[in-house]
Amino acid sequence: MDKDRMSVRSALKTIMKAIRVTEFGGPQVLKLETNVPIPEPAQDEVLIKVEAAGINPVDTYIRSGTYAVKPTLPYTPGKDVAGVVEDVGAKVQHLKKGDRVYSMATTSGGYAEYCTAASSGTKILHSNLSFQEGAGIGIPYYTAYRALVIIGGARPGQTVLVHGASGAVGLACVQIARSRGLRVLGTAGSQAGIELISRNGCDVAFSHREEGYTDKIMEATASTGPDIIIEMLANVNLEKDLSMITKKGRIVVVGNRGSVEITPRLAMQKECIVTGMVLFNASQDELNEIDAAVSAGMRDGWVKPHIGKMYTLEQAPVAHDDVINNKGAQGRLIFKIC
């Protein structure tokens, strides 16, 4: 380490609070520790003083040990953060100490007062967004854009159904679709959720808890069905999607929590495409496209994450329960760190 960086490091705290997981399991394995060493950035990383951290469903799958890729124990969860650059690695050129940033590329874990993050996945946070909103950008907006635009092939004038629109990814889909000139249909599980997705740009909103709601969706599309369906809970909804999608339409599965039995003849009749989508399969070219779109959205004001609820780190077990077992998602759940 050179002298300048040594002086920077010596001026910092050396110990921080962070959530640590020492065994896979339920929310109770999330433990707050107060004597965790502050990590040091590698040459291509930055150290971020975390102001807010996003809570994603995938965080719970990783914590439970059911995710395909398991971290080495012990670890600190969390990929999405927003905060201020505190230190930079020797090879980092585009960021500097004091920059307001958001990142979905933490390398030491975001449920902490400080974290390291890959500089390539750390972006400038526009001044018209708060840190709490910044923690809502990364995985939700990048997932939504890739599902809708890159995988779904969305074009102006088409109709998209966001099947489960009131969560963080769903609301991002609504905002992106609206900005790109699509007609947006969305569903939610509560009256508050319906009002929320309507405020965020849904042209027509439906309750997916209401009997016969799919008939209403078909009526809203003159019985032709949506061109694209972004599906947040395929194990519950995929058969309904196949019955609604227009001929040669596309169903993009973003979320799933179990198995499902479907009628393949529906897909045959519609000649539709059913495809899955995982953000971490994105190519660098795709990420560059999403970076540019999100940056423009922040500048133009349509990237506006809705914060549904904020938690302290002490409330991590409750937060993980809420992100999975909610009775109608209403935006982004975050930890307010500082």
pLDDT at residue number 68: 87
Query: Rounded to an integer, what distance in angstroms lies between the CA atom of residue 326 and that of residue 320?
Result: 10
Average pLDDT over residues 114-124: 98
How confident is residue 337, by pLDDT bands cut at 50, 70 and 90? Answer: very high
CB 321 within 8 A of CB 333: no
Please state, for a pLDDT cut of 70, what percent of the chain lies above it.
96
Q: Where are the alpha helices (DSSP H) in the chain?
A: 3-11, 57-64, 131-134, 138-145, 168-179, 191-199, 213-220, 234-244, 264-270, 284-300, 316-324
User: Using one digit for the tens of pLDDT, what is the confidence trace for 206-219?
Assistant: 999 999 999 999 99
What is the β-pairing status of strands 183-188 and 159-163? parallel
How confident is residue 338, by pLDDT bands cut at 50, 70 and 90? Answer: confident
Whether the per-residue pLDDT at 1 is higher than 60: the answer is no
pLDDT at residue number 227: 98
How confident is residue 221, by pLDDT bands cut at 50, 70 and 90? Answer: very high
- Sheet containing 183-188, strands listed edge to edge, beginning at the edge strand earlier in sequence: 204-207, 183-188, 159-163, 228-231, 250-253, 273-276
CB 101 within 8 A of CB 95: yes
Question: 6 vs 15, which has greater pLDDT?
Answer: 15
How confident is residue 2, by pLDDT bands cut at 50, 70 and 90? Answer: low
Contacts of 93 (CB under 8 A, 6+ apart): none
User: Using one digit for the tens of pLDDT, what is the confidence trace for 89-117?
Assistant: 999 999 999 999 999 999 999 999 999 99
Token look-up 């694209």 returns: 228
Query: Rounded to an integer, what distance in angstroms lies between the CA atom of residue 335 and that of residue 16?
Result: 15
